[in-house]
Structure 1
Amino acid sequence: MEKAAAVEEEEQEEGAAWAWSWGAGTDGQLGNGGFQDHHLPQPLLFPLRCRGRVSFVAGGGAHAIALTGDGEVFTWGRGTHGQLGHGDMENIPHPKFVKFFENYSITCVSAGWNHSGFATDSGQLFMCGDGSFGQLGAGDNHPRNLPFEVAYFTTKHVVRVAFGMRHSLVLLKDNSVYGFGSARRGQIGRCARNQKFYNVPKLIDGFPNCKIGNIYANGDHSAALDESGQLYIWGRALIGEHDDDRPQPVFPSLSSSQVALGWHHALVLSAGELYTIGAYRHQKLDPHVSSSEPMQRLNPATSSHDHDDSSSLSTLVKVPCVDGDQVVHIAAGTEHSALVTDKGAVFTWGWGEHGQLGLGDTCDQVAPQRVNIGDKRPCSSASVNVYCGSGFTVVVNSGLAAD
């Protein structure tokens, strides 16, 4: 298929009917054609032919990647390290088709602080952007402004990618997990003493005999979810006071279906109910709001560190019910969170300095607040998805039929 001919990059939809963004925008990461913050939802200017076809959006430090259901890729926002993959280092304020992939079908994408990754349907891994911590896996620390294939995986099959601030995780078809990039907090597994980064992929060991279903990363920590719903966490401490360089199973009684990581917190979705873990400045729930909700305490008995167990106690806090609805989709930025209910409503809370909560101001919120998207048509929960970058938020109604 000739994707370059099919994609009209300059043709953009003017109406605000199916994709929105808000928050920090000074690098063009809102995709609305401008370079300024917005405190309320704005139309995200996808090319018209993307309507109803966007299946996933990855938010980075100040850039974003959109993936369509048929494997096309669009990027926008900060490009100063080449992370947009267009062969230059320019900021772009609207989604632009990545021509490099016109003859590939991309199935998975991820965005780190300043780097990007793309997995193909044949299992290849392509990377671009900042490589100063080895997060591109190229064997050096140089940036790349065009996607290149990571040689280490040419004889393997990549199925998932997940990027933190300066590290990268890769899940292979054979169920092995690899990491590369910054290693200081244990986020890419156990490393040689004083090793600050790895610029080639290394196997992350310590998983039990289980089938990994998905991987997650943000900030300096990492997570994985197996097919039974068991959550594993490693890297910078989310639970307790100590970093961990081996995947640790947590909350064994909770069967998790979705996970979203921030810099200092995590969201965990189980049976339509949402929980938070971690200690963080802006998102700690107001005790008066959550006092009626059940709490669960964890003592990670599998900790690899020799310290008093009492220092490892952490609280799993249930997020108050949102108008009695169930939560079907979650997302986390550095210090803000978002969810979609089974009625298609979008809620945000946490850090709001750049307007990333979409509530019309820059205030922080300690409990979920409904965002007025402005779309008057009814939305199915199956079609509304929310995604977070560092200080910005994107919502896509992917259930619309293409024009």
Structure 2
Amino acid sequence: MTPEKRPAEDEEEQESKKLKEDPPPAVALETSESSVLQDETSQDSIASDSASSSDPEKKRLPVPEERGTVVFTGCTQWEYIGRRNLNNIPSMSHYVPKIMSFFKGIRVAYVAGHCTAAHSVIITEEGKAFTLGRNEKGQLGVGDSENRTGIVAVDSLSDFAIVAAAVGRNHTLFLTDRGTVFGCGDNKSGQCGTGNTVAVINIPCRINFKESRIQKVACGAEFSMIVDKKGYLYSFGLPEYGQLGHNTDGKFFITSNKLAYQHERSPRRVPIFVERSKDGHPTPVTDVQIVDVACGASHSVAIDAKKRAFSWGFGGYGRLGHAEPKDELIPRLIKFFDGHNRGVTKIYCGSTYTIGVSQMGPFLWGQTKRTGEANMYPKPLQDLCGWDIRSVGCSTTSIVVAADESVISWGPSPTYGELGLGENVKSSTQPKEVKSLEGSHVHQVACSMGHTLMIVRDETERDKEILSKLKEMTV
């Protein structure tokens, strides 16, 4: 079975030819002296990308147009989140949304988080990247793995306009307006895509990819996804449950009783998408042009230009939406959304669940609680039906939704303030409106473990009035 090939435009053919003529990006070698080599790799990568600065303006990716004030809720005691061997410091837990004093007077265009990550990325309207959170594997991209209590600038990328980012459990990807991607953090499974498995990359290095310009990035716990301008999907990192979509879980035995994985160290194209009949027979799906992708801890979901949804990877708790808990090693069409006026327009992933916004409304499948029943196939989110959902943030079990002029959140205990519901309502199994943001227009939400970032519109007098009532915080 081979994927259907779409005709390339003349511009794309010329661009591809130009990219192939360029020398491949420098990458760090696997050696104990990795820290020095990472620095050299980063500098080589930056020089290579800067050489393309003469590209026409029209080819650059734009920083998101919707800007606003960044608001934080949750815990800033990074080493405490998700762990049991430390005591909570009350002053570092914020149970209601607060304005970050660091960004006072600075408008933000993009925020990135992940359900398995205790760190996040904030991108300003000028395309400057800032990170905050846990830094045990160098995922903040500041040149070391030391603990950072505050917000830090990713200075090594100061020469680039960053338009988007994605974070995994301990790694980070940055997308530039040139369509190139830089990765840093934990790389023992090749999830930074630099062509090697150097354990830790402290400074963002350019990924080993020259085929085309990249338009989307996404991260799972220990793997990553990119989408290029042609709509082709590429993956790299840990293949343990088939989440890379290459028809393998990558397992092999080093010895008779020692198991290992064949990691993908560089982006590798996902070549085929299938649908399965009732008897399980796979049939290729043609003309798949991916427009968006999201990743949970160990599963992936993508939607194409025809609003078809595909899922693959770990199938436990029904998070793939195929009405069975089986792992899928190849992207499989979610039949529930296949049909007239049933297409999916937005997709979001939590650790063990998936949320899709379709033409029929919002649906959830998988498990959002640590116990109890799971949705083996998409079921409507009745409390959100009829709302205009703009953005959804998915944490381990917490969910935060920006819809209409409200923010709605819910999630079972334990929580760390990421729901923003206040000291007296730290958790909720039912969707509740965040009272302090009532009437606000939130452009984007991003959840990580234990904290939530929101971009709140700040243009009208009503917007400014709502923001003026929020307290400020220093991280």
Aligned residues of 2:110 and 2:163 also touching (Cα < 8 A): no
Within the alignment, does 1:23 sit opposite 2:78 as a pair? no
Q: Distance in 2 between matches of 1:242 and 1:153?
A: 32
Shift of 1:395: 1.8
Aligned residues of 2:362 and 2:385 also touching (Cα < 8 A): no
Which amino acid counterpart does residue 106 of structure 1 have in structure 2?
Answer: I
Aligned residues of 2:129 and 2:153 also touching (Cα < 8 A): yes
Structure 2 equivalent of residue 304 of structure 1: none
Structure 2 equivalent of residue 256 of structure 1: 344
Structure 2 equivalent of residue 69 of structure 1: 125
5 Å-filtered alignment, 1:3-402, equals 18-27=69-78, 36-51=92-107, 53-59=108-114, 61-138=117-194, 139-150=196-207, 152-189=208-245, 190-191=247-248, 192-194=250-252, 195-207=261-273, 208-237=286-315, 238=319, 239=321, 240-250=324-334, 251=336, 252-253=338-339, 254-271=342-359, 273-282=361-370, 314-322=376-384, 325-342=387-404, 344-353=405-414, 354-359=416-421, 360-361=423-424, 364-372=427-435, 374=436, 378-380=439-441, 383-400=442-459
Q: Residues 369, 99 of structure 1: CA spacing in aligned structure 2 closer, same or farther, 3 A cutoff?
A: same
Shift of 1:362: 6.9
SS of 1:257's partner is strand
- Report which stretch shifted further, 251-260 or 220-229: 251-260
Q: Distance in 1 between matches of 2:387 and 2:368?
A: 26
- Report which stretch shifted further, 108-117 or 129-138: 129-138
* 1:174-195 alpha-carbon deviations (Å, 9 max, x no partner): 3221111111111112235534
Q: Residues 108, 324 of structure 1: CA spacing in aligned structure 2 closer, same or farther, 3 A cutoff?
A: closer
SS of 2:333's partner is strand
Aligned residues of 1:384 and 1:396 also touching (Cα < 8 A): yes
Q: Residues 258, 35 of structure 1: CA spacing in aligned structure 2 closer, same or farther, 3 A cutoff?
A: farther
Shift of 1:398: 4.0
Q: Residues 47, 272 of structure 1: CA spacing in aligned structure 2 closer, same or farther, 3 A cutoff?
A: farther
* 1:81-118 alpha-carbon deviations (Å, 9 max, x no partner): 11111112233333322111111112221010110001
Structure 2 equivalent of residue 309 of structure 1: none
Which amino acid counterpart does residue 58 of structure 1 have in structure 2?
Answer: G
Which amino acid counterpart does residue 200 of structure 2 have in structure 1?
Answer: P
Aligned residues of 1:283 and 1:349 also touching (Cα < 8 A): no
TM-score by length of 1: 0.79
How many residues matched?
A: 352
- Report which stretch shifted further, 153-162 or 319-328: 319-328
Q: Distance in 2 between matches of 1:64 and 1:28?
A: 14
Q: Distance in 2 between matches of 1:54 and 1:46?
A: 15
Q: Distance in 2 between matches of 1:166 and 1:25?
A: 23
Q: Distance in 1 between matches of 2:400 and 2:371?
A: 11
Aligned residues of 2:132 and 2:151 also touching (Cα < 8 A): yes
Q: Residues 75, 323 of structure 1: CA spacing in aligned structure 2 closer, same or farther, 3 A cutoff?
A: same
TM-score by length of 2: 0.67
Q: Residues 283, 205 of structure 1: CA spacing in aligned structure 2 closer, same or farther, 3 A cutoff?
A: farther
The sequence identity of aligned pairs, in percent, is 23
Which amino acid counterpart does residue 363 of structure 2 have in structure 1?
Answer: Y
Which amino acid counterpart does residue 432 of structure 2 have in structure 1?
Answer: Q
Shift of 1:39: 2.5
Q: Residues 38, 168 of structure 1: CA spacing in aligned structure 2 closer, same or farther, 3 A cutoff?
A: same
Shift of 1:131: 0.8
Greater helix share, structure number: 2
Aligned residues of 2:156 and 2:204 also touching (Cα < 8 A): yes
Which amino acid counterpart does residue 130 of structure 1 have in structure 2?
Answer: D
Aligned residues of 2:440 and 2:457 also touching (Cα < 8 A): no
Q: Residues 63, 188 of structure 1: CA spacing in aligned structure 2 closer, same or farther, 3 A cutoff?
A: same
Which amino acid counterpart does residue 99 of structure 2 have in structure 1?
Answer: P
Q: Residues 61, 160 of structure 1: CA spacing in aligned structure 2 closer, same or farther, 3 A cutoff?
A: same
Q: Distance in 1 between matches of 2:370 and 2:232?
A: 35
SS of 1:66's partner is strand
Q: Distance in 2 between matches of 1:323 and 1:242?
A: 29
Aligned residues of 1:285 and 1:367 also touching (Cα < 8 A): no
Shift of 1:280: 4.0
Please report the RMSD computed on the Cα atoms of aligned residues, expressed in angstroms. 3.0
Q: Distance in 2 between matches of 1:198 and 1:119?
A: 20
